[in-house]
Amino acid sequence: MKIVVQRVKRASVTVDGSVTGSINHGLLLLIGIHESDSKEEIDWCCRKISKLRIFEDEEGKMNHSVQDVEGGILAVSQFTLYGNTRKGTRPSFIEAAKPDVAEPLYDYMVERFKKITNLNVQEGKFGAMMDVELINDGPVTIIVEK
């Protein structure tokens, strides 16, 4: 599993002209699911991300989690995170989980965030062409891999 975590002032996802998910202050997650991933990796990532201290405290130090600041989470599936560019100039995506495996795991991740946090958890639309808009806060971008 590979997740790009971006601290945002706001973010939204639009599919075919309709907003499917939108948050204010919080985390935008670009989620790549590997062919060998399971619910165990998702559980670990959800715990890690929900407690990741990347929000500033009163002294300007990154000491607060998204839960501490009562932020939102916007989850976006992105198989292209597993684009392998070692050979040639066209990425290979063979390490990315196929949709029949990835979609249930993505859905599970969204539900886990809703279950383990009391945050506003929003999502994109799995497999769709999405317009993702964000105002990066910092910018602060972290890659979480399991």
The ranges assigned to domains in the chain are: 2-145
Is 20 catalytic? The answer is: no
Kindly name the residue from 14, 20, 67, 79 that is annotated as catalytic.
79
Is 14 catalytic? The answer is: no
Kindly name the residue from 14, 55, 67, 80 that is annotated as catalytic.
80
Cis peptide bond prior to 104, omega within 30° of 0: no
63: tokens are: 């000491």
* Model pLDDT, residue 30: 98
Q: Which helix (H) or strand (E) holds 54?
A: none
* Model pLDDT, residue 22: 98
Q: In whole angstroms, how far apart are CA 21 and each of 37, 71, 94, 121?
A: 25, 14, 28, 9
Can you say whether residue 68 is alpha, beta or left, with left for phi > 0 and alpha for psi between -120 and 50 degrees? alpha
Low-confidence stretches of the chain (pLDDT beneath 70): none
Please name every residue paired with 34 in a beta bridge, in sequence order, or none if there are none.
Answer: 96
Kindly name the residue from 78, 117, 122, 126 that is annotated as catalytic.
78
Is 80 catalytic? The answer is: yes
CATH ID of 2-145, from 3.30.30.10, 3.30.70.580, 3.50.80.10, 3.30.930.10: 3.50.80.10
* Model pLDDT, residue 106: 98
Nearest one of 77, 118, 123 to 99, comparing CA atoms:
77
Dihedral, CA atoms, 108, 112, 115, 117, nearest 10 degrees?
A: -150
Distance CA 57, CA 32 (A): 30
What is the pTM for the complete model shown?
A: 0.95
Distance CA 84, CA 86 (A): 6
